[in-house]
């Protein structure tokens, strides 16, 4: 009997962890449809009907919609800058020999060693002195800059693996350096670009400390990103007792990425795994 009990226990453990990862999310979604009264009387009860008005309240009055849009703008812009600049620098560092090349490479890659907290105070003043404090372009540039070390590191390694015969053939045919990069090498590097792109997307979408430091000051509230808006909502709803609005805001914030993950889970997982096995 003993050798059957152990596997059973192991399986039970698997199921328990699956419940631990799914139930809180299901609970948040269900609570977003409940009334405050239902939430207060029994956390485990089901909503008596689907109250979409909670979602509308979170989207409009609590400005989750605006924060969502801000997040989308910043991450889209930052991702574009990161991928373009990262690919450009990595390509040159990987395929061209020139003086100082190794120093530049290590300057980029060395950035991965430093905790972001070390930079926090001076960064605040650098951004302020450029007049970019509390602005979306400022946050976009900062996100892109802090994504560069890993992007350059990953893509340099990737560009090195590409065969040089294609590049040589193109050069013989009179293809210039710029055309070679945009027409030949970039398309060949697509798998690497996708992996590092997913990694950067999650890195930038998940940022917390950078926005709360850089998006403060008066009027900055209109420019908040989702991470800030949601935590502020959590603090404020506590006072006002609008729990259902908070859950609705949370659900709106997590559903899009969760949905994207469920569709592309293989790419998500391999992209992230590749990212961390550096």
Partner 1 sequence: MRGKRLFIAVFLIPPLLLYGIFVVSPYAQAFQISGTNWSGLSPTYEFVGLDNFHRLLGDGYFWNALRHNGLLLVLLPVVTILLGLFFASMISVGGRAGRAGVHGVRGAGFYRVVYFFPQVLSVAIIGVLWKEMYAPHTGMINGLLRAAGLDGLAVAWLGDPRFSFWCVLAVLVWMNVGFYVVLFGAAMQSVPRDLYEAALLDGAGRRTTLVRITVPLLWDTIQVAWVYLAIIAIDGFAIVQIITDGGPNSSSDVVGLRLYKTAFADGQFGYASAIGVAMFFLTLTVAVMFLRVTRRDRVEL
Residues 154-183 binding partner 1 (CB under 8 A) are 176-178, 181
Using the rule CB under 8 A, which residue among 86, 134, 192, 197 binds partner 1? 86
Q: Which residues in 39-78 contact partner 1 (CB under 8 A)? A: 39-40, 42-44
Q: Which of 201, 159, 209, 194 is nearest to 274 (CA)?
A: 194
Candidate residues 69, 119, 175, 194; the one interacting with partner 1 per rule CB under 8 A: 119
User: Nearer Cβ to partner 1, position 170 or 257?
Assistant: 257
Q: How far is the CB of 53 from partner 1 (least distance, A)?
A: 19
**Closest separation in Å from C-beta 45 to partner 1:** 9
Contacts to partner 1 from residues 213-252, by CB under 8 A: 213, 216, 226-228, 230-231, 233-234, 243, 246-247, 250
Kindly give, in sequence order, each residue whose CB lies less than 8 Å from that of residue 173, ignoring residues fewer than 6 positions away.
none
Residue position matching structure tokens 């020139």 = 98
Residue placing its CB nearer to partner 1 in the complex, 52 or 182: 182
Dmax over CA atoms of the chain, in Å, equals 76
Q: Is 14 helix (H, G, I), strand (E, B) or coil?
A: helix
Spatial contact of 142 and 127, defined as CB atoms under 8 Å apart? yes
For residue 130, the 8-state DSSP code is: T
Instruction: Output 111 or 197, the one with its CB closest to partner 1.
Output: 111
CB-hemisphere CA count at 13 Å for 266?
Answer: 0
**120/166 with CB nearer partner 1:** 120
Q: How many CB atoms lie within 10 A of CB 67?
A: 26
Q: How far is the CB of 222 from partner 1 (least distance, A)?
A: 18
Q: In this chain, which stretch among 48-56, 157-165, 188-196, 260-268 interacts with partner 1, using CB under 8 A?
A: 260-268
Query: Does the protein bind partner 1 through residue 113 (CB under 8 A)?
Result: yes
Among 46, 50, 208, 240, binds partner 1 (CB under 8 A): 208
- Could you give the CA distance from residue 160 to residue 146 in angstroms, rounded to a whole number? 23
Distance CA 156, CA 278 (A): 12
**Interface with partner 1 includes 103 (CB under 8 A)?**
no
Q: Is 106 in the site for partner 1 (CB under 8 A)?
A: no
Q: Supply φ then ψ for residue 32, to 5 degrees.
A: -70, -15
């Amino acid at each position: 009997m003993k050798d059957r009990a152990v596997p059973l226990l192991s399986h039970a453990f698997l199921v328990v962890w699956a419940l631990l990862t799914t139930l809180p999310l299901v609970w948040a979604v269900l609570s977003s449809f409940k009334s405050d009264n239902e939430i207060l009387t029994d956390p485990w009860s089901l909503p008596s009907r689907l109250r979409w008005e909670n979602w509308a309240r979170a989207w409009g009055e609590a400005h989750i919609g605006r924060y969502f849009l801000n997040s989308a703008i910043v991450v889209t812009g930052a991702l574009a800058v990161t991928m373009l600049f990262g690919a450009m620098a990595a390509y040159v560092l990987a395929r061209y020999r020139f003086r100082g090349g190794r120093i530049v490479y290590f300057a980029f890659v060395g950035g991965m060693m430093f905790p972001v907290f070390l930079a926090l105070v001076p960064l605040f003043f650098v951004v302020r002195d450029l007049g970019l404090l509390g602005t979306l372009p400022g946050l976009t540039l900062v996100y892109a800059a802090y994504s560069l070390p890993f992007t350059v590191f990953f893509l340099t390694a990737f560009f090195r693996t590409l065969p040089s015969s294609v590049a040589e053939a193109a050069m013989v045919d009179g293809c210039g350096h710029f055309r070679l990069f945009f027409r030949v090498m970039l398309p060949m590097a697509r798998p690497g670009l996708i992996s590092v792109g997913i990694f950067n997307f999650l890195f930038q979408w998940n940022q917390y400390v950078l926005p709360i430091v850089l998006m403060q000051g008066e009027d900055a509230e209109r420019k908040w990103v989702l991470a800030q808006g949601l935590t502020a909502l959590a603090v404020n709803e506590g006072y006002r007792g609008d729990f259902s609005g908070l859950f609705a805001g949370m659900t709106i914030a997590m559903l899009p990425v969760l949905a994207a993950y469920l569709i592309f889970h293989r790419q998500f997982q391999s992209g992230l795994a590749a990212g961390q096995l550096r």
